[in-house]
Chain A
Amino acid sequence: MAWIMKNSADAQIETRDEPYLTPDMEKKLREVYMPRYERPKGALFPALHMVQHHYGWIPQQAMQEIADVLEIAPSEVLDTVSFYEEYWELPKGEHLISVCRSIACEFCSATACTEAIKAKLGIDVGQTTDDGKFTLVELECLGSCGTAPVALIDDDLHENLSPDRIVSMIDQVQNGTYTQGGTGAVKEDL
C-alpha cells in the first residue's frame, strides 16, 4: 500500500549528535553518485540505499542530512522514502526474511514455508522477533518463478524451498553457521 500518505505535519524528529551520513558516505554521494545525474535529486536512490544498507533503516535525521547534501527539501526525501517498500522508516530486525507470495510461489506451496517460519520464530508476517534478530515479510514476485518457492534472507536468494529447508537455514543463522551465498553473495554495498 505504497500510496498511503504519512502525516508529517506534526512529526517530531529524533536526533542524535553524531550524523548518520558518515563522511565516507557523503564523499561517495558527492563524488560518485551526484555527477551521474543531471539534477542532484537523481542521486536520492543511491543515497538512500547507502543509508539503508548501513543502518538497516532510514532515520529521519538521515533524510534531513541527505536533503542538505542534495539541496532539496527534506519533505521530498520523505516523499520518496514513504513510497518505496524497500526503504524502512522504522528499525527492523538484524536479518530480514522476505518470502515471495506471488502466483507461481503460492501455487508451489510458498504458504507452507511462511507458516513454518512463523511457527519457528513465533511471529506473524510483518513482525520482528523479541530479540530483534529476525523480521519476516512477504513480498510480491522476486523474479525466480521457475524455482518456486523462493525467499530472500537479507540479500541472498534461496530457491526451491521446502518448509524444512528454510527452517534449517534459520537455525544456521541463529547458531552462526549460515554462510552468505544463495544464488549469489553480495560482497559490498553498491
Chain B
Amino acid sequence: MPKKTWENTLTQHHLLKRIPTAPFGNIRDRHIVGYDEYVKTGGYEGLRKAMAMKPADVTSQVKDSVLRGRGGAGFPTGLKWTFLPDADGGQRYLAINADESEPGTFKDRLLMDFDPHGLLEGIAICMYACRLNKAYIFIRGEYHHQAHVLEEAIKEAYENGIFGEKGLLNQAGVSGDPFVGECYVHRGAGAYICGEETALLEGIEGKRGWPRIKPPFPALKGLFGRPTIINNVETLAHLPFIMSDGSDAFKNQGVESSIGGPPSFGTKLMGVSGHVEKPGCYELELGIPLRTLIEDYCGGIRGGKKFKGAIPGGVSMGILGRDQFDAEMDFDIGRKYDVLGLGTSGPTVFDEDTDMVAVARNIARFYKHESCGQCTPCREGSGWLYQIMTRIEAGDAKTKDLDLAMEVAKSMGSMPGTTICGLADGNNWAARTIMEKYHEEFEARVARTFVPVTIDMAALSGA
C-alpha cells in the first residue's frame, strides 16, 4: 500500500542490492559485480520477465509504477516512452545520461563502479519495451575507471547473449518481432552542459555540446534525426526491480504527494556531502525528512554544530534555508520549500560556520565556467553574477549591487523564457534563493548606497 507519510519500511536495498552500504552492508565489502555473480543473485530476471510480455505491457507496467526520472526533472518515465512514434524499420536510439557533473551529485558513479550489469539490464528492458536498437551510454570523460568497468561489463553481456546478433532481444519472443540490440559506451570530454538531453545528443554526434531548440522533441527527432529516448542511469537501474517484483512492490516505497500532485514512489539514491559526520551515498525511500536523513543516517552535522542550509540535489536546485531542516526529500519539495525541485536528491549540507556569500560565489563561478555560450542571458549573466558575487565577498560591493545581482539572476533561464535550455534556470535559482534566504549576510557585506537628496526649503514653505 502506498504511504501517505514517510516511514522506513525498507528491508533490503534495491539499487544497492549488490553494493554493500549501511545499514544493510559494509562499504569495505564492495567489489565489481561481474556477469556470473550478477546472475547468481537474481540478475537478468527482470529482463526475462519483461521479454515474456508484450512491449506495450512492459511500458504499461513502468507507467503503472509511476517511476519518475531520477536525473533531476522527475518526469514520469513510462509516459516519456509513450511519446515515441511507432517503429518504421529505421534506427531508434536509447541515450543513457551518465554525464553526472552536477556539483553535489555522485550517485550514478556508484552504480557504474560496482554493479554495471544492473544498468545494462535496465537498458535492455528499455530497449525491448520501446523497440530501440542502439544504446549509447554517454559517460562523462572524468569517469575513466567507470567507463572501463562498463566496457568490460558490456563485453560480458555480449558474450552471454544479452546484446548483439545472438542476444536475447534477437530471439523471437511474445512480440514476434526480434531485432539486434547494440550497446556502446560513448565517453564525453568534460562539459557539464552535455548532461542536458539535447546537448548530450550533439555530443554523441561528435559536435559541440550546444542544446537544441525544442520542439522537435528527441522522442520524435533525436539522435541523427531519429526517435530517441534519453534516460538517467539511476532511472534505468530501477527497471529490473519493477519488472521482477512488479509495480506494486515499487509503490510500497516512497510517499504519495501531500499537496495533491503526482506521487514520489520508490527508493532513491541520496548522496550526502558537505558538513556531516558520515557523508556518502545511501539508498532510502523518497519522502524522508532531511533532518532524519542527516541525523539518523549521516551521524548529524559535523562536530555537533548547527544546521545552516543544504542544497537539496545539485547546485541548480537552489538552497534550503535554516528553517527548512525538516523538508521532506520528495518531488513536492520544489512547490513546498521555494527551491527549483528535488534534483538529484543529493544534499550538500552546510554547518553554521559556512560563509553563504562564498557559497554563492562558488556556484556562480561554476555556471560562468560551464555556460555553453549560445544564449546571451546565460553567457553574459553568469559572468556578471560571478563578478558581483566576488565583489560582495571581497567587501567591495554596494547595496545596489544586491539589486543588480537579483535583477540579472531573474532575467536568466528557460522559465523566464530567455534561454534554450535550463542551465541558466539553475544559475537563476541558486543565486536568487541564496540571496533571499540569507539576505542579512549579503547586506552585512556591502557598503550602503547613499542617494543624495536636495530639498528646496523655500519651495516647501510656499514662498
Residues of A within 8 A of B (CB): 1-4, 36-39, 41-46, 48-49, 76, 79-80, 83-87, 98, 101-104, 106-108, 139-148, 152, 155-157, 182-188, 190
Contacts and interface: CB of A to CB of B under 8 A. Distances in A.
B274 A2 contact: no
Contacts of B82: none
A43 B207 CA distance: 10
Nearest to B145: A184
A124 to B, nearest CB: 17
B359 interface: yes
B81 interface: no
A108 B273 CA distance: 9
Interface of B: 91, 100-106, 108-109, 113, 140-145, 147-149, 151, 182, 184-192, 203-209, 223-224, 226, 271-275, 279-281, 311, 315, 346, 348, 350, 354, 358-359, 362-363, 365-366, 368-374, 379
Given A103-B311, A107-B359, A144-B106, A2 B145 contact: no
A79 B223 CA distance: 19
Given A45-B203, A145-B106, A146-B279, A106 B362 contact: yes
A41 B203 CA distance: 10
A33 B248 CA distance: 42
A41 B207 contact: yes
Q: Which 7 A-B pairs have the closest CB atoms?
A: A3-B373, A44-B206, A184-B145, A145-B273, A84-B189, A86-B190, A102-B103
A86 B144 CA distance: 12
A2 to B, nearest CB: 6
A79 B207 contact: yes
A145 B190 contact: no
A45 B346 CA distance: 30
Is chain B's interface secondary structure helix, strand, loop, or mixed overall?
mixed
Nearest to A106: B362
Is chain A's interface secondary structure helix, strand, loop, or mixed overall?
loop
B109 A144 contact: yes
Contacts of B366: 102-103, 140-141
Nearest to B203: A45
A142 B406 CA distance: 29
A148 B273 contact: yes
Contacts of B226: 38
Contacts of A141: 101-105, 192, 366
21 contacts: A41-B207, A45-B186, A79-B207, A79-B208, A84-B189, A84-B209, A85-B189, A85-B190, A104-B103, A107-B274, A107-B350, A140-B192, A141-B104, A141-B105, A141-B366, A145-B279, A145-B346, A146-B106, A146-B279, A156-B144, A184-B145
